[in-house]
Amino acid sequence: MKILVTGAAGFIGSALVRALSARHPQARVVAFDIVLPDAPHFIVGDIADREVTTGLIDGDTTHIFHLASLVSGGAEADFEGGMRINLDATRELLEAVRSVGRPPIFVFASSIAVYGGDLPEMITDHTPALPRLSYGTQKLVCEVLINDYTRRGFVDGRSLRLPTILVRPGAANTAISGWASAIIREPLAGRDYDCPVGPHTHMACLSLKRTVEAFMHAAALPTDALGSDRTTLLTGIPVTAQQMIDAVRRISAGRKLGVVHFARDAHLQAIMDRVPRATRSERAARLGFTPSAGIDEIVGDYIATLK
C-alpha cells in the first residue's frame, strides 16, 4: 500500500501526512512538495515538471491525495503560474496514473472559489459553479477532468470543495482569506494584528482537524456511494471577524493576547463582501462528513496544538 500526498509540506498536507501515517502504520506514505516535507518518506520537486510527476506514480500506488496548488491570491496575480501548477500539473498527474494502468483512489482538494458572481449568503449543493477567480476556474476544470477520468476507469476520483480552513500557523500565504487565520493566530501569539477587513466580514469556516478527517473519510467511501459526480461540497460554518476575536478571548486560557485593530483594505473588503457567508451540503451530511461545531471548537483545536 503506497499513499502519495502532494503539497505535503503545506498547512493541510503536513497534517494529513501525519494522520495517514498514524492510521496506516504498515503503508508507505510518500510526501511530495517543492520544499522539504517533514515526513519519513519524501520527494522534493516541481509538481508541474512532467518527468517528476511521472516518477511519483507506480503500480503500488493505491491512494493519491492531491493538495499541491498555487492558492487564490497567487493564482490571480500570476495567471501562467496558476495554470501551470493548478491545472496542467493535475492533468499530468492524472495522465501518469493512466499510464500505469491501475486506478488508485484519487482525492482532490478543490475549493469554494469555484463559485462566484451574485452569490446567496448560503451556498448549497444546488448553487451553480461560476468562478470569478482564475484559481476557482482551474479547480473547477480539475473537478470535471477527475469525473471523466473516473468514468473511464483511470482513477477512482473524489473532489472536496473546501471552505476556509482555520487556523493556519506561521506566516501568511497568498490566500485571499489569510486574514481569517491571522486574526486568531496573531493575538494568541501575543502579537497585535491589523485586520484588513471589517468586524462584520463573514467567512465559511472548517477546522484543520475536520478537514483532515474529511480527506481520509473521502478516501474510505465506497465508490458506488458517490455516483457519477465525484465532487462534494463540505459544510463551512458562518463566522464573522468579530466572532473570531471573541472566541479567542473566551478560550485563550489566560494567555496575554495581542490586540486586533481593524484597518480595512478597500480592495480586499470588496472581494470579501462577495464571498458566501456559509456553505451547507446535504450530500456531505448524507455521506458522513462532519462539519465544525462552532468557532470555539475551531479555536480550541488550534490552541491544543500550541501546548
At 10 the three-state DSSP class reads coil
Mean pLDDT of the chain: 94
Is the bond preceding 167 in cis, omega lying within 30 degrees of 0?
yes
pLDDT given at position 200: 96
pLDDT given at position 63: 98
Catalytic residue among 115, 135, 149, 193: 135
3-class secondary structure per residue, 18-69 = HHHHHHCCCCEEEEEECCCCCCCEEEECCCCCHHHHHHHCCCCEEEEEECCC
pTM: 0.94
pLDDT given at position 38: 82
**Out of 38-52, 79-93, 122-136, which region has the weakest mean confidence (pLDDT)?**
38-52
Instruction: Give the pLDDT confidence of 87-119 residue by residue, as tens digits.
Output: 999 999 999 999 998 899 999 999 999 998 888
**Out of 84-93, 134-143, 169-178, 211-220, which region has the weakest mean confidence (pLDDT)?**
169-178
Q: How many CA atoms lie within 13 A of 288 on its CB side?
A: 11
pLDDT given at position 174: 60
pLDDT given at position 291: 97
CA-closest candidate to residue 126, choices 282, 239, 286 = 282
Q: Where does the pLDDT of residue 253 fall: very low under 50, low under 70, confident under 90, or very high at 90 and above?
A: confident
Is the Cβ–Cβ distance between 64 and 97 less than 8 Å?
Answer: yes
Instruction: Give the pLDDT confidence of 256-292 residue by residue, as tens digits.
Output: 999 999 999 999 999 888 888 899 999 999 999 999 9
Cell of 252: 485563550
The dihedral region occupied by 7, where left means phi > 0, alpha psi between -120 and 50, and beta the remainder, is left
CA-closest candidate to residue 184, choices 240, 234, 254, 235 = 240
Q: Using CA atoms, how far apart are residues 65 and 55, in angstroms rounded to an integer?
A: 16
Handedness of CA 297, 18, 236, 79 (dihedral sign): positive
Supply the DSSP symbol for 236: B
| Percent of residues, the chain, with pLDDT higher than 90 | 82
Instruction: Give the pLDDT confidence of 176-232 residue by residue, as tens digits.
Output: 788 999 999 999 999 999 999 999 999 999 999 999 999 999 999 999 999 999 999
Q: Is 135 one of the catalytic residues?
A: yes
Buried (b) or exposed (e) across 237-249, using 16+ Cβ within 10 A? bbbbbbbbbebbe
Q: Using CA atoms, how far apart are residues 261 and 70, in angstroms rounded to an integer?
A: 29
pLDDT given at position 173: 61
Task: Return the number of other C-beta atoms located less than 10 Å from residue 66's C-beta.
Answer: 25
Query: What is the CATH T-level fold of the domain 166-204+237-277+292-306, as seen in this structure?
Result: UDP-galactose 4-epimerase; domain 1 (3.90.25)
Question: What is the chain's Cα-based Rg?
Answer: 19
pLDDT given at position 71: 85
Residue 14 has pLDDT above 70, yes or no: yes
Query: What is the CATH T-level fold of the domain 2-165+207-233, as seen in this structure?
Result: Rossmann fold (3.40.50)
The full set of domain ranges for the chain reads 2-165+207-233, 166-204+237-277+292-306
CA-closest candidate to residue 267, choices 197, 180, 182 = 197
Residue 50 has pLDDT above 80, yes or no: yes
